[in-house]
Chains A and B, each alone.
Chain A
Amino acid sequence: DGGITQSPKYLFRKEGQNVTLSCEQNLNHDAMYWYRQDPGQGLRLIYYSQIVNDFQKGDIAEGYSVSREKKESFPLTVTSAQKNPTAFYLCASSISTGRETQYFGPGTRLLVL
């Protein structure tokens, strides 16, 4: 089955700790995205990548980092610089950026201990 997988489903972070959220897709899509969702809010773009070895900051990139070493994978690291990391994180992919339909993974819920 083609799709997007995210792991883990739940993640707990201690103060001062960096954590990495995994996102993998087997749809052969060039573009991948990370969004953050807070309760009662829409999704906000953290980072996006149009192609392997390239990525760009979105609206709320501070405190986050990404890499895109393989077409299938776009991991997101939440660093200790992100002071309010508790949120639901959604990864998406599309054939190419922007106007094409984005398909989403099941999400990772990050909680701070």
Chain B
Amino acid sequence: AQKVTQAQTEISVVEKEDVTLDCVYETRDTTYYLFWYKQPPSGELVFLIRRNSFDEQNEISGRYSWNFQKSTSSFNFTITASQVVDSAVYFCALVNQAGTALIFGKGTTLSVSS
């Protein structure tokens, strides 16, 4: 069975702190795709990153970075020097076996205070 686990339900940090959001996935596929989305209070999901299982290089985009480790089935997301605007719910997702839709974790609510 395929599954995405985001064990951290809520995280609270103070501005400028670094924060890491954990994502652990389960799949029997040898080729698979992982995603991160941000859901601000407005509700719309905003795409952050797509990663395929062949590419194990870590990725950095501004203050965001992602650490993909196949050995531990994890795809963690780090925000460096967090800002209040980073406050949102963050979802990790995996493409299902049929390749037709996404399986989402339950999300991590990040609160950044000033």
Q: Is B42 an interface residue, CB under 8 A from the partner?
A: yes
Mask: chain A, 88-101; 1 = CB below 8 Å from B; 0 = not: 10101000011101
A43 adjacent to B42 (CB under 8 Å): no
Given A42-B91, A42-B107, A43-B91, is A102 in contact with B102 using a C-beta cutoff of 8 Å? yes
Residues of chain B within 8 A of A104, CB atoms compared = 37, 44-47
Q: Is A107 an interface residue, CB under 8 A from the partner?
A: yes
Residues of chain A within 8 A of B43, CB atoms compared = 88, 90, 106-107, 109
Q: Is B35 an interface residue, CB under 8 A from the partner?
A: yes
Q: Is A8 an interface residue, CB under 8 A from the partner?
A: no
A98 adjacent to B95 (CB under 8 Å): yes
Contact-residue size bin, chain A (C-beta under 8 Å from the other chain): 20 to 34
A56 adjacent to B100 (CB under 8 Å): yes
B45 adjacent to A98 (CB under 8 Å): no
The residues in A between 60 and 113 inclusive whose CB is less than 8 angstroms from any CB of B are 88, 90, 92, 97-99, 101-107, 109
Which A residues lie at the B interface, using CB under 8 A?
Answer: 33, 40-45, 48, 50, 56, 58, 88, 90, 92, 97-99, 101-107, 109
